[in-house]
């Protein structure tokens, strides 16, 4: 079956209410924490994307049963360190950096060696960032070049650590928090600010975790070897998925959109802050707190005139997966937009900073690049007529979404390969575009 799409026409004006697929970060955490809870947890609106399905397969291989009943996943946990780890076990995290890094934290006490593998993209990614703290806890970790495959053997003599996390990576932070669950005593992390879903979920589960906010970073204290009860959780929509529809609306003509029930945790909403600074008028309404997480409806209207931004790198972590689509707005804004210290983008599913520069040049935008900083020279009247083909982007789902939004708002005749990549994070993507009237062949 063909795995590409053609877009040859801009989208016409729309005025729609949509909901996007459930949050990937929260879905993966909910499944992994349910696997460590005592009893049956019930998770509704779980994201059924490949990364999350691989998380479910992983806990099953570790002896945790689950079933699906009328759209609710019921997961039967045996408590912290309740995995039943068979000899010569191989776990496959597929494309998911989050699953791979988080599961290692839950294996620090494993009695037998577990091998962790992943797909081509994940096998190129850096794991030294988690191998270092895992070894400090006392686990044995083998890896040739700090990449997958990794073999991990746990220990009964885990020791709590005091760790400085300087990247601002929630995956590293959570790997350490998960290791700490299995470790006696109090583990301390001084972590550069990053998404805090794990901390909020553990607080909601009444687990002994303390977070002290400082400027730009957090001190987190976790008391190990406590148990928590099973829980019910309804997963909200994913702001990272919503971001493509936010920009679609913003750059379309006379259009409006409401995106319902999206997680708007402040550690994730950098895109809204950035776009509003560029002249958008994005509003959050119906705000509610659900199990410690903020959920709201997002209101967007299209905007003809957008301004450039000198973007503070303090916003980098809260928009890390959204810069690709933010750059598209910068391409249409008046003036030169400046973004700094985005080296982490090159450590994602593909080398996203390099690919973004290539992409912007492809659509006729001037970009200055100095190491991990870029200046984008916006063209408010940018309009495309040429033919474009998007291929060789390591099947990165977010590059696929970016290409579709560019085609639908800027024009041109596009062939976009690797349609299947949408299943990584946002299986509903093309269906929603269809509902909005986009002509996709």
| Near ligand S3P in 344-363, by CB under 6 A | 344, 348
As a whole number of angstroms, the distance between CA 337 and CA 41 comes to 46
Nearest to 47 by CA among 405, 322, 427: 427
Q: Which stretch, 76-84, 169-177, 292-300, 369-377, contacts ligand S3P (CB under 6 A)?
A: 169-177
49 or 98: whose CB is closer to ligand S3P? 98
Using the minimum distance from each CB to ligand S3P, give the nearer residue, 175 or 405.
175
Q: Report, as residue numbers or ranges, the catalytic residues.
A: 321
| Cα torsion 396, 398, 401, 406: sign | negative
Q: How many CA atoms lie within 13 A of 238 on its CB side?
A: 24
Question: In angstroms, what is the minimal distance from the CB of 353 to ligand S3P?
Answer: 13
Q: 3-class SS at 368?
A: strand
Contacts of 369 (CB under 8 A, 6+ apart): 357
Question: Can you tell me which of 21, 41, 45, 98 binds ligand S3P, judged by CB under 6 A?
Answer: 98
- The pair of three-digit structure tokens given for residue 425, joined into one six-digit string: 């994070």
Smallest CA-to-CA distance from 207 within 36, 16, 429, 52 is with 36
Closest CB to ligand S3P among residues 174, 243: 174
Q: Which of 321, 322, 418, 428 binds ligand S3P (CB under 6 A)?
A: 321
Selection from 174, 71, 70, 171 nearest residue 122 by Cα: 171
Task: Check residue 169 for interaction with ligand S3P (CB under 6 A).
Answer: yes
For the chain, give percent helix, strand, coil, nearest 5.
Answer: 35, 30, 40
Among 239, 320, 333, 433, binds ligand S3P (CB under 6 A): 320
- Cβ distance to ligand S3P smaller for residue 58 or 252: 58
Residue 171 or 230 with smaller CB distance to ligand S3P = 171
The DSSP secondary-structure symbol of 310 reads B
- Count of residues interacting with ligand S3P (CB under 6 A): 12
CB of 120 to ligand S3P, least distance (A): 18
**Tokens read off for 96:** 């998911």
- Using CB under 6 A as the binding rule, whether residue 21 contacts ligand S3P is answered as no
Residue position matching structure tokens 């589960």: 205
CB of 199 to ligand S3P, least distance (A): 12
Query: Is 76 or 349 the residue whose CB approaches ligand S3P more closely?
Result: 349
Among 27, 45, 92, 171, binds ligand S3P (CB under 6 A): 171
Of 168-176, 212-220, 323-331, 369-377, the window that binds ligand S3P (rule: CB under 6 A) is 168-176
- What is the rounded distance in angstroms from the CA atom of residue 375 to the CA atom of residue 173? 30
The mark string for 328-347 relative to ligand S3P (x by CB under 6 A, - otherwise) is: ----------------x---
We find the least distance from the C-beta atom of residue 382 to ligand S3P, in angstroms, to be 28
Q: How many other CB atoms sit within 10 Å of the CB of residue 306?
A: 22
Instruction: List binders of ligand S3P among 173-232 (CB under 6 A).
Output: 174, 194-195
Alpha carbon distance 19, 245 (integer Å): 10
Q: Is residue 170 near ligand S3P by the rule CB under 6 A?
A: yes
What is the residue whose two structure tokens read 């999206």? Answer: 262
Q: Which of 25, 54, 92, 409 lies at the binding interface for ligand S3P (CB under 6 A)?
A: 25
Segment lying near ligand S3P (by CB under 6 A), choices 153-161, 170-178, 359-367, 384-392: 170-178
> What's the CA dihedral at 45, 49, 52, 55 to 10 degrees?
140
Axis crossing angle, helix 197-204 with helix 24-34, rounded to the nearest 10: 40
From CA 211, how far away is CA 224, in angstroms rounded? 15
Is 152 a binder of ligand S3P (CB under 6 A)? no
Query: Given the rule CB under 6 A, which residues bind ligand S3P?
Result: 25, 98, 169-171, 174, 194-195, 320-321, 344, 348
């Amino acid at each position: 079956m063909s795995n590409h799409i053609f877009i040859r026409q801009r989208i016409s004006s729309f005025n729609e209410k949509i909901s996007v697929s459930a949050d990937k970060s929260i879905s993966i955490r909910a499944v992994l924490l349910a696997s460590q809870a005592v009893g049956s947890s019930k998770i509704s609106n779980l994201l059924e994307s490949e990364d999350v399905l691989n998380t479910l397969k992983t806990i099953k291989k570790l002896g945790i049963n689950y079933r699906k009943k009328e759209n609710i996943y019921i997961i039967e946990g045996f408590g912290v360190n309740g995995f039943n780890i068979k000899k010569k076990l191989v776990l496959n995290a597929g494309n998911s950096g989050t699953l791979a890094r988080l599961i290692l934290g839950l294996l620090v006490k494993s009695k037998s060696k577990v091998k962790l593998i992943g797909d081509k993209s994940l096998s190129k990614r850096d794991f030294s960032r988690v191998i270092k703290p895992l070894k400090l806890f006392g686990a044995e970790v083998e890896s040739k070049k700090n990449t997958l495959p990794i073999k991990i053997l746990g220990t009964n003599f885990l020791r709590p650590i005091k760790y400085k996390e300087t990247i601002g990576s929630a995956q590293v932070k959570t790997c350490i928090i998960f290791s700490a669950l299995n470790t006696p005593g109090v583990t301390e992390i001084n972590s550069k600010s990053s998404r805090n879903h794990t901390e909020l979920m553990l607080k909601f589960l009444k687990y002994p975790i303390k977070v002290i906010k400082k400027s730009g970073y957090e001190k987190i204290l976790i008391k190990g070897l406590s148990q928590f009860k099973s829980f019910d959780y309804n997963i909200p929509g994913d702001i990272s998925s919503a971001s493509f529809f936010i920009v679609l609306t913003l750059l379309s003509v006379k259009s409006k959109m409401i995106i319902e029930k999206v997680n708007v945790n402040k550690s994730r909403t950098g895109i809204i802050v950035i776009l509003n600074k560029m002249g958008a008028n994005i509003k959050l309404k119906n705000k509610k707190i659900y199990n410690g997480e903020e959920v709201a409806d997002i209101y967007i209207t299209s905007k003809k005139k957008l301004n450039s931004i000198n973007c503070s790198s303090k916003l980098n972590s809260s928009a890390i997966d959204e810069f690709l689509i933010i750059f598209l707005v910068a391409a249409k804004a008046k003036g030169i937009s400046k973004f700094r210290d985005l080296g982490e983008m090159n450590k994602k599913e593909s080398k996203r900073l390099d690919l973004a520069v290539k992409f912007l040049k492809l659509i006729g935008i001037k970009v200055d690049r100095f190491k991990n900083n870029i200046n984008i020279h916006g063209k408010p009247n940018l309009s495309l007529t040429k033919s474009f083909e998007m291929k060789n982007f390591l099947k990165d789902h977010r590059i696929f979404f970016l290409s579709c939004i560019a085609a639908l708002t800027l024009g041109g005749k596009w062939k976009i390969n690797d349609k299947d990549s949408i299943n990584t994070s946002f299986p509903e993507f093309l269906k929603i575009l269809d509902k909005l009237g986009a002509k996709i062949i």
